[in-house]
Amino acid sequence: MYIIILGAPGAGKGTQAGILSREMNLPRIASGDLFRQALEKKSELGLLAKSYMEEGRLVPDEIAIRMVLERISLPDCVSGCLFDGFPRTLEQAEVLDKALAEQGKSIAKAIYIQVTKEEFLKRLSGRWLCRNCQTPYHLVTSPPKVQGKCDKCGGELYQRPDDNEETVRERLEVFFAQTAPILDYYRKQNKLIEVNGNLGIQEVAREVISVLRGEVSDNHKVS
């Protein structure tokens, strides 16, 4: 069961992928997290990605594809995963389909979380993330129980450097210019599910789970 979570920056991809990952017992593969981890380790990949991320631009396809395909070749992804932030271009979508097809696998569904433009800035300016497990919090809509600490693992919370207003605007432009066209790619394959992401976190999760119900195999049945 390979599922893609699509949406503009701040739409709630990470939030919903985290909930679905627990519900469906599937690993969450977040390309942004993989880049940030590589950067923290100061690996060659992380240093290559750094300037693109800081400016809110997409990291070149070749690098993003190599990183994600390497990640999904690990044993925990053998029966499926949730893609969060990947693919982001037509090239990435086509290469992913090809790589899965070579193993007799395919994308089951692509879930597009739709949010109004006014909501993105609000969500990203109030976002805090766990440095350890990447769980997202929001100062207003989902604050941690103890300020500055992750409820799940006690890790330190931080704000992403690319969540400043100028970079968020650039990320949104990049999404609508370069990523939105892949919606049609999945629509044509009859795989696109569009959900209203303007509702509260739990309401969106209920909508996602309800549309997926009946679409998944017994191993990953959503309750």
Burial 188-223 (b: 16+ CB within 10 A, else e): eeebbbebebeeebeebbebbbeebeeebeeebebe
User: In angstroms, how far is CA 223 from the centroid of its own chain?
Assistant: 22
* The one segment of 40-48, 94-102, 198-206, 212-220 that binds ligand AP5 by CB under 6 A: 198-206
* The one segment of 19-27, 85-93, 95-103, 182-190 that binds ligand AP5 by CB under 6 A: 85-93
Contact 66, 95 (CB under 8 A): no
Active site residue 149: no
Question: Interface with ligand AP5 includes 83 (CB under 6 A)?
Answer: no
Question: Interface with ligand AP5 includes 46 (CB under 6 A)?
Answer: no
Residue in the shown chain whose Cβ atom is closest to ligand AP5: 32
Active site residue 169: no
User: In angstroms, how far is CA 160 from the centroid of its own chain?
Assistant: 15
Q: CB of 88: closest distance to ligand AP5 in angstroms?
A: 4
Chain residues 13-32 in contact with ligand AP5, contact rule CB under 6 A: 13-15, 31-32
Contact 11, 197 (CB under 8 A): yes
Q: Which amino acid is at 12?
A: G
Selected binder of ligand AP5 within 24, 29, 38, 64 (CB under 6 A): 64
Selected binder of ligand AP5 within 59, 96, 111, 193 (CB under 6 A): 59
Selected binder of ligand AP5 within 11, 24, 96, 111 (CB under 6 A): 11
For the chain, the 3-state helix, strand and coil shares in percent, each to the nearest 5, are 50, 15, 35
For ligand AP5, give the closer residue by CB, 56 or 80.
Answer: 56
Contact 156, 148 (CB under 8 A): yes
Burial 142-159 (b: 16+ CB within 10 A, else e): bebeeeeebeeeebebee
Active site residue 187: no
Contact 208, 195 (CB under 8 A): yes
* Residues annotated catalytic, as ranges: 13, 88, 127, 160, 171
Q: Residues in the site for ligand AP5, rule: CB under 6 A? A: 7, 9-15, 31-32, 35, 52-53, 56-59, 64, 85-86, 88, 92, 123-124, 126-127, 136-138, 141-142, 171, 197, 199-201, 204
